[in-house]
């Protein structure tokens, strides 16, 4: 049982050390589809629609779309409305 416990502790430390490292383009953080879906609470298909309409710029790296953090923040400010009922009263 002790050996199993030691293995589990070793696996836990490996997982903790492998937190997702952000890729960068010209020093700026890149977000992938998964990051953005979680951040905006939208589906992959919705992100595709934003890309195809030209509202959300993306960059293809190894045939995978990535988004510059600054462009995402600009998109949020210009296109997304604040949630109703939050903020001011």
pLDDT in tens, 39-86: 888 999 999 999 999 999 999 989 999 999 999 999 988 887 765 555
Query: Domains of the chain by range and CATH?
Result: 20-79 (1.10.10)
Q: Which residue has the higher pLDDT, 26 or 35?
A: 35
d(Cα 56, Cα 37) in Å, to the nearest integer?
13
DSSP 42: -
Q: Which residue has the higher pLDDT, 10 or 35?
A: 35
pLDDT of residue 24: 77
Burial string for 1-13 (b: 16+ CB within 10 Å, else e) reads eeeeeeeeeeeee
């Amino acid at each position: 049982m002790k050996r199993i416990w030691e293995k589990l502790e070793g696996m836990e430390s490996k997982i903790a050390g492998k937190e997702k490292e952000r890729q960068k383009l010209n020093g700026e953080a890149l977000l992938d589809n998964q990051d953005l879906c979680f951040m905006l609470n939208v589906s992959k298909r919705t992100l595709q629609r934003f890309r195809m309409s030209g509202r959300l710029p993306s960059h293809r790296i190894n045939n995978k779309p990535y988004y510059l953090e600054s462009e995402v923040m600009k998109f949020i400010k210009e296109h997304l409305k604040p949630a109703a009922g939050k903020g001011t009263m």
